[in-house]
Each structure stands twice: as structure tokens, then as C-alpha cells.
Structure 1
Amino acid sequence: MFRFVPPRGSRKVGQGLSRLLKTTTRVNADAVRQGGQVASEVARKAARKAVEAVKARTEPAPHAPPGRFVEVDGVRVHVIVHGQGRPVVLIHGNGTMAEDWVISGVVERLARSYRVIAIDRPGFGHSERPRHRVWTAAAQARLLHGVLGKLSVERPVLVGHSWGTLVALALAAQGQDDLRGLVLLSGYYYPTRRADVGLIAPLAVPGLGDAARAMTPDSVGRLLAPGVFRHVFSPQPVPARFTARFPVAVAVHPRQARASAEDTATMTTAAALLQPHYPRLRLPVAILSGDADAVVDPREQSCRLHGEVAGSTLTLLPGKGHMIHYGAAARIARVVDGQMALTGRALRWQ
């Protein structure tokens, strides 16, 4: 999963927030000691910042949407659609968006033969994420099911990356869609202890998380972003096309930051709920991972899943990190071709 705040980055963000909170507290205390007039001015500035923060959370992300919108159950979902033919659905990981599939070259490669639908998950990219719902992997899968229905998508191959593999598996588990196959990239399938979950979970709490984001300038996210990108691509360098085209402003926007924090907080629970179903899956499943992934351990996750899913295939890409869809677009396309060539059967969860 491309997490905007992976383990190493999480500690940096947590330390940065801690310093910011301490500094803010010290400044306010000094202002009070200096007199009521200064304290009043500080309060007015704080109020203005709060109003600006609320506006930032409700205004569109600062980047023109490259696709179009589909409304499902009152939620506007942004989709990017290219090509014609049998459908392939792309589900992105945490902290990123549908546009990542375009930048990586996967959309262009697959669109030569298929109808490719890349979907912004709730709260990411340009899709809405209403607060009155708890956006678990299962809830996101139900929304995705509605989107596919609106787009008249039948028997797709689902390609999920990282956190997106949980949504793909949840959609399969719900059994509402006749799926042709699953292609799971750099996935997280079994609950483990993760430092990032403990650090980021408080930011997913309504009110507390909003306050923290309101006090964190956008410049902090922009400052940390290059280090995060190096971590998720490691040991490969960050591709030049990613640096040039990835919309960092969208990734650090308060709306997407909230979605990323919430998904991080629910990740281990989602994996735990799906785990009992893996041995019952009867569908072509291709599992791919980089053997040098610094975000998700392929031995604990991908290799273990391969052992539980009958008939699945496992590919470990030598020396590759978490973002394997960069540099392996042709390999992913061949795997999709292989699943399309199978007659397959409707999904069965026994």
C-alpha cells in the first residue's frame, strides 16, 4: 500500500505534530502572560485558522480531475476510463489515487486490449468520503460494486495494489459480482503489529484528527513527501515521471489525509476479517510482490496467502520495492492477459 505515512515517515509526522503542539501551547501561554490584548489577538488568529481548516476540508482538492464522476448512494466517485473490450478494474492503495495507475503506465498498457477503469476510493483523489459512514474495506467494496453497476461492468479482472487488495478481496467475499479473476500487488492480507497504525490511529478520531490536521500546515506534508516517496519506492529510485506528474497537493490535502489516516487505522481489522475466507476462494488469483518491499513483508503476506489460496500463482520480483506497478507494467499486463484467457468460473466462497 502506498501509504502517505509509512512506518518511518509516521514517526517523523508524529514527532513533527508533537513539536507543533508543544510550540503552539508555549506561544499561547506566553501570550496570556503578556496581557489580555495579545491573548485576544492570538484567539482571533486561531479562529481564522479554524475557519480556513474547515473550508480546506470541504473544498475540492487543488487539482483538476482527469476523469469523470459516478454517483452511487449519494456519493460522488471519480473514475478514469480508457480503452475498449473486456473490463479491468484498478484499485489503488493508501495515500495515493487512481491517477497513480496512469502515471505508472499501467492504464496505457492495459488500454491497448481492454476497457480499463481506475477508481478513486472514497476520500482519495477526487472521490467523496461522507463522514456519516465508517469506510471499512467492506463498505468501500459495496460502493465499488455500485460504481461497476453504473458503468455496466461485467466479469472484470480486479487489480488491487496494497490497501486496494483488501477492497478487491472484500468485493470478492461479498459475492455480488461475477469476477473473472484477481491480481493482487504488494498486498497486506494478515494482521500484524505495525508502528504506523499506533501513530496514525489518533488522527482518524473525529475532532482530534481534524484539530491536528488544522494545526499542521500544508508545507509540512510537502516537506515530508519526498522522504515518504523514497521509502515506498526503495530500493529503486523514485521515477522521474512520478516526481514530475504525481499531484502532491492532492495527496497532502486535508480531505485525503483524513482518508489515509482512517484506512491506516482500520487496515489490520480488515485483514483479520478477510483471513478466514482465503482458503475458500475459488477464482484465478495472481499474487505479485517485490522481494525487497520495505512497506509490507512479502514473506509474511504474499507468500503466506499463496499457501492458502488453492491454484493461486505467486511472483516475487527480484530487487523490487512496494511500488511494483512502476517498472512492471508489462508484467502485470501479461498476468491480466493470462486471467482473461482462462474460461474461469463465477466466484465461490464456500
Structure 2
Amino acid sequence: MTSAKPVRRLRSSMPVNRRNAKARPYAVASAVAIGTLAAMALINRNLAKKAEHKNPPTGRFFDVNGVRLHYVERGSGEPLVLLHGNGSMIQDFESSGLVDLAAKNYRVIVFDRPGFGHSDRPRNVVWSPDAQAELIKQALKRLDVSSTVVLGHSWGASVAVALALKNPDLVRGLVLASGYYYPTARPDVIAMGAPALPLIGDILSHSLSPLISRAIWPLMMAKIFGPRSVPKKFEAFPKEMALRPSQIRASAAESALMIPDAFKLRNQYADLKMPVVIIAGEQDRLIDIDTQSARLHSEISQSKFHRVPGNGHMIQQTATDQVMLAIREAASPSKLEAAE
């Protein structure tokens, strides 16, 4: 009896040892993965700090509804508000030359939308076009702007539309460039929204996503500028600022909102009664302008639609003069009609 006890203990311990042996490689792999992600996060954090140090704010700040909002103001005359697209910032309009061009005749106000450039993006708010429109409205009130022409590019066009629908007395003219207005099947947009997911999105946006974005940056630029090449003036755009974890997460959140917000707004466009000028590159590789801009034109009776041949999504960069003409058309449609 007594001699059997050690044998039983030996047998009972063997399964435990096997389990430990099997578990050990998984533990090592997990530790390596966690360490790698932490190292990536540290690298991306340092790169983000360097980018912000190299590209300090060029404008002013004020707090609006708890958001520290960065804006640039140039020129004098009738107000003109510029709202950039997803993943972008003030420097897009500055590097294009549109700000300097418009400032010759207008009081140009350009915002870094929440989470982009140097503006905050509090996480207790879902930053839909409606929420951003309310923020812009309050900001314009602080700037004593009671009537303005608004240009929105790409995702910024949705914010411009929301602002005009809610505040028709504020927005006296609307320019919608390369916008997305009607819901469609977009698997690419769903994939781009991954860094906005709770928890896993934070991990991705601080580790893998910035490094992947750096690797595919030339491909992304070729797509959004195509069929045109990236103009030399775009070198002034601070790429490193766009690749910060915070901005990648903001961009992912807007990608995730793109389809549902288009679904929400799709039946309201006919309510726009101010002059509306729609402009889009005829070879846009991101957005089908026939199912988007052309359809929008058909639903807004007083709108005008300009297709820009040989251009893609970034018409503010590659067709700056035509975009400036669209601004003048929205600001003074009767003068342009008389001149024609």
C-alpha cells in the first residue's frame, strides 16, 4: 500500500508537466507579440512628437464646447470657410495655393477639423457631420461671422452640407468638392475603419497602422491624385502629421461614419436653397462621381455641376483655379451669369 503512493503521485504529475510544456511556447509568443507592439507604439509616439515639433501651429486657437480648435485666417472681405477632407488638415488648402488665391478677395477661415492637424477630438463625442457642423457654427459665432460661403472637400463636404441644412441663414453659398453623398457598398471603407474600434483600434492606431500607412503612402497618393501625378507643391503638406496615431484614429472614425452619415443625409439635399456649386474630377478613383456628384446635382434644382476632365479626387490641388472659380460662382452667381 505505501509503496504505491509515490507511483500515483508520479502519474498524476505527468499531465500537468505536459500542459506546462505545451503552454510555454504560447506564453513566449504572447510576450514577444506584446513587446513588439509596445516597441512600435514607442516608435510611433516619438515620431508623432517630432512631427508636431517640426510643424508647429501656424494659426490661432480657441476653446469651443470643450474642443481646442485650431484655425487660420487670411485676407479680408466676405467670409469664406474651407473644410478639409478625411485624413487631411489646414496645410492641404495652404499648399494647394487656394488660401492665398482666395485671400485676395475674401476673408478666408480654414479649420483643422476635430482630431486633425492641431485640433483636439474629445472621445466623449461621436464626431458626425452634424456634430462637427455645430462646432463650426459656434466657432464662426466667436469670429463674428453671420453669413459665409462654405467649401467642403471630400468628407468636409458632408460637414458643409450639415452646416447649411441646419443654418441656412449662415451659409449663403455652398461649394461641394469631390464629396460622398449617397450610401454605397464600400468594403474598403469598412476596413479603413478598424483603427476606430474600441480597444483593438487603440492598439492598431498606436502600433501597426502608422507603420503600414508609411509603407503604402505612395500608393495612397497615387490613388487619390490619379490620374494626375502628385504636384510638387504638395511636398509642403506635413505627411508625418497625418501619420500620427491620433490622426489615424480620427481618420478611421470618419471612414466608419461615412456610409451611415450618407444614409442619414440622402433625402435632405433638396432642402438646400442657397446657391450650390458641385465640382468633381472626372477620373476620381475614390468616389464614383456619376452616382455621387451627378446625382446630387439632379436633386438640387438650383445647383451647378462642374466635371473637371483629367483630374481625380484632389481637385483643390490639381485644379485650383477651377475650384476658385466655383467659389466665386457660389458667392456671386448673378455676377458670373451676367459676365457669361
TM-score (norm 1): 0.82
Worse-superposed segment, 38-47 or 317-326: 38-47
Identity %: 41
Other-structure match for 2:299? 308
Q: Name segments (4+ residues, structure 1) moved above 3 Å.
A: 29-32, 38-61
Other-structure match for 2:13? none
CA deviation after TM superposition for structure 1 residue 206, in Å = 1.8
Other-structure match for 1:296? 287
Unaligned runs of 5+ in 1: 1-28, 345-350
SS at match of 2:278: strand
Aligned mates of 2:321, 2:56 — CA distance in 1? 28
CA deviation after TM superposition for structure 1 residue 271, in Å = 1.0
Aligned mates of 2:30, 2:301 — CA distance in 1? 67
Worse-superposed segment, 65-74 or 228-237: 65-74
Residue in structure 1 matching 2:121, options 93, 114, 129: 129
Aligned mates of 2:166, 2:81 — CA distance in 1? 17
Other-structure match for 2:261? 270
Larger relative helix fraction? 2
Aligned mates of 2:315, 2:210 — CA distance in 1? 28
Higher RCO (C-alpha under 8 Å, 6+ residues apart)? 1
Aligned mates of 1:177, 1:281 — CA distance in 2? 11
Larger Rg: 2
1:43 to 1:289, Cα distance in 2 relative to 1, 3 A: closer
Aligned mates of 2:121, 2:50 — CA distance in 1? 12
CA deviation after TM superposition for structure 1 residue 222, in Å = 1.7
CA deviation after TM superposition for structure 1 residue 148, in Å = 0.9
Other-structure match for 2:9? none
- The answer to whether residue 213 in structure 2 is matched with residue 225 in structure 1 is no
CA contact (8 A) 1:306 1:312 kept: yes
Worse-superposed segment, 121-130 or 43-52: 43-52
Aligned mates of 2:50, 2:211 — CA distance in 1? 18
Other-structure match for 1:23? none
- 1:154-169 to structure 2, matched below 5 A, reads 154-169=146-161
SS at match of 1:76: strand
In structure 2, give the amino acid aligned to 1:290.
Answer: G
Q: Deviations over 1:156-206 (max 9, x none)?
A: 100010110000001112127521100000110000010222212332112
Worse-superposed segment, 212-221 or 188-197: 212-221
Aligned mates of 1:31, 1:326 — CA distance in 2? 55
Other-structure match for 1:19? none
Aligned length: 313
1:61 to 1:266, Cα distance in 2 relative to 1, 3 A: farther
Unaligned runs of 5+ in 2: 1-20, 336-340
Other-structure match for 1:113? 105
Other-structure match for 1:12? none
Aligned mates of 2:24, 2:73 — CA distance in 1? 56
Aligned mates of 2:65, 2:47 — CA distance in 1? 21
SS at match of 2:126: coil
